[in-house]
Amino acid sequence: MLRLHHLIWLCCLAGLLSACAAPATVSPAPSSPADEATAEPVELAAARAALARSDYLQAVELLAAPTSPEHVALLARARAGLAQAALSAAPAEPGALRTALDQVGLALALRPADRALQDELLGLERAIVSLLAAEEARTALASAADADPARRLGLARTLAERAAAAAVVEPHLPGAEQLAAAGLLAAATSYEQAGDADPVAPDTGWREARQLCERAQALSPGEAGQACLERLSQKLDALVAGQDTATPTALAPTATARPVTTTRPTSRPAAPAFSVVQRRSFEGSGNSGQFASCIDIQILGPAGPLSGAVVGINNGEHSYQNQTDANGYTGRCGLGASTWSVVLFWTPTTGSVRGVTTTVYLSGSPEQRAAVVIQGR
């Protein structure tokens, strides 16, 4: 019996030692839904950090397959950032414009729920399309060098209209003024050539061309615009001088014959003189710390509102150019606290305008809307 107890004791001891020698295993605790959700905020945080340092490509890679409205909004902003980067790297270059347009299209295809973001993307798309339309019109005119004069003038007219629109479209894109000025100068060349080929009234084409050159020079001053203005001014001055010094014709000589002079051409009516007739400002209104004030502007000619007039708004740090609508109105919002200058640069009836300017003060608060009315007499 003692041996039996001893044997049982040895077996128990062996089993205990074996259990102690085996490695302990711990079953994994089941993950909770809250733990699984922590991966998403980490990913979003990484994407936001990439956006903050303007690493838009990294943000796009992190958000390649958006799974939530927040993902969608961040990815759309990343693509908008890629578009802006392309535009800044090669201002107004056709290739950069198309690359930017592709990125904006991809952002819009995501259909972000944020209405402000949608509006921002649509505005950017509209501005890019406007610049591309002007560039395509310039290419079409350049490729029609051998076309008949009427077709070339039609293409030049289309180019001038698209270039004028590209100069003032919002939001402002890098290189917009230079692209618009190049288009206006190309259109001016066609009008000048039409004047050169017109033996009856060459001044019609020359005057149209000079107005386009004036507009181009106002948008982006340069040697090409200045040369265009000087060349056309010389042609028009020579034409007027030739008309003024024309030799009077006379009847066949008789005993009582008197020279019969030709009627001198009627001079053009004087261009209207413009002046500021109304002004509302907010002097002494302080600085609200916001960028929400507006300036409303109307340009009137002697016969009523002037459509297509070019107006500048600037404060020495920020400068904008706007074009009046069919009722002579234009303006700018999103302005901060500053003294803002309002300058009339150009009108379709007079060409360049000089010395017509005024200033208004704004605090930046949304309830402040300055107003300026400029009228020609």
Element (H, E) at 333: strand 329-335
Dihedral of alpha carbons 340, 346, 352, 355, sign: negative
Query: Of the residues 79, 113, 147, which one is the last residue of a structural domain?
Result: 113
Same domain flag for 149 and 225 = yes
Looking at the domain assignment, is residue 1 inside a domain? no
The answer on pLDDT for 31 being more than 70 is no
Highest mean pLDDT, choosing among 173-187, 231-245, 344-358: 173-187
- 69-92: average pLDDT: 90
The answer on pLDDT for 95 being more than 60 is yes
Specify the CATH number for the domain of residue 290. Answer: 2.60.40.10
Q: How many alpha carbons lie under 13 Å from residue 276 in its C-beta half-sphere? A: 18
Query: Of the residues 191, 221, 242, which one is the last residue of a structural domain?
Result: 242
| pLDDT (tens digit per residue) in 244-294 | 554 444 444 544 444 444 444 444 455 568 999 999 998 878 888 888 899
Highest mean pLDDT, choosing among 58-62, 127-131, 165-169, 347-351: 127-131
pLDDT value, residue 183? 94
Average pLDDT of the chain? 81
Q: Which of 127-141, 227-241, 267-281, 347-361 has the lowest mean pLDDT?
A: 267-281
Percent of the chain scoring above 90 in pLDDT: 35
Same domain flag for 139 and 98 = no
Looking at the domain assignment, is residue 2 inside a domain? no
Looking at the domain assignment, is residue 153 inside a domain? yes
- The band of 64, judged by pLDDT with boundaries at 50, 70 and 90, is confident
Looking at the domain assignment, is residue 301 inside a domain? yes
Q: How many helices (H) and strands (E) does the chain have?
A: 11, 10
Residue 68 in 3-state DSSP? coil
From CA 369, how far away is CA 304, in angstroms rounded?
Answer: 23
Same domain flag for 238 and 153 = yes
Domain count, the chain: 3
Same domain flag for 364 and 288 = yes
Same domain flag for 147 and 237 = yes
Q: Which domain holds residue 65?
A: 43-113
Looking at the domain assignment, is residue 66 inside a domain? yes
| pLDDT (tens digit per residue) in 148-198 | 888 999 999 999 989 988 888 888 899 999 999 999 999 999 999 998 998
Q: What is the pTM of this model?
A: 0.57
Query: Of the residues 242, 261, 287, which one is the last residue of a structural domain?
Result: 242
